[in-house]
Amino acid sequence: LSSCVPHTQVVMRLLVSLQSPPVAVQEAVEVALDAGYRHVDCAYFYQNEAEIGAAFQKKFGEGKLKRDELYVVSKLWNIFHAPQDVKPAFLKSLTMLNLDYLDLYLMHSPMGFPSNPCSKQDQSPTKSSSTSLFSWQAMEKLVDEGLVKSVGVSNFNVSQLERLLSVCRIKPAANQVELHPYLTQPELVEYCKSKGIVLIAYSPFGCPALPCPVPLLENPTVNEIAQKHGKTSAQVLIRFHIQRGIATIPKSITPTRIVENAEVYDFHLTRKEIQMLEGLNCNTRFIKWNLLG
Cβ proximity of 245 and 192 under 8 Å: no
Pick the catalytic residue: 37, 44, 46, 182?
Answer: 46
Residue in 140, 145, 18, 223 with CA at minimum distance from that of residue 153: 140
What is the C-alpha to C-alpha distance for residues 21 and 7, in angstroms, rounded to an integer?
Answer: 30
DSSP state of 49: H
Cβ proximity of 238 and 283 under 8 Å: no
Degrees to nearest 5, angle at CA 32 with 28 and 34: 120
Cβ proximity of 160 and 129 under 8 Å: yes
What is the C-alpha to C-alpha distance for residues 85 and 118, in angstroms, rounded to an integer?
Answer: 18
What is the C-alpha to C-alpha distance for residues 82 and 89, in angstroms, rounded to an integer?
Answer: 10
46 classed as catalytic:
yes
Cβ proximity of 96 and 53 under 8 Å: yes
What is the C-alpha to C-alpha distance for residues 89 and 128, in angstroms, rounded to an integer?
Answer: 21
108 assigned binding-site residue: yes
CB under 8 Å to 273, separation ≥6 — which residues? 225
What is the C-alpha to C-alpha distance for residues 78 and 107, in angstroms, rounded to an integer?
Answer: 8
Assign 247 to helix, strand or coil: strand
What is the C-alpha to C-alpha distance for residues 220 and 216, in angstroms, rounded to an integer?
Answer: 9
Known binding-site residues for substrate equal 108
Catalytic residue numbers? 46
Known binding-site residues equal 108
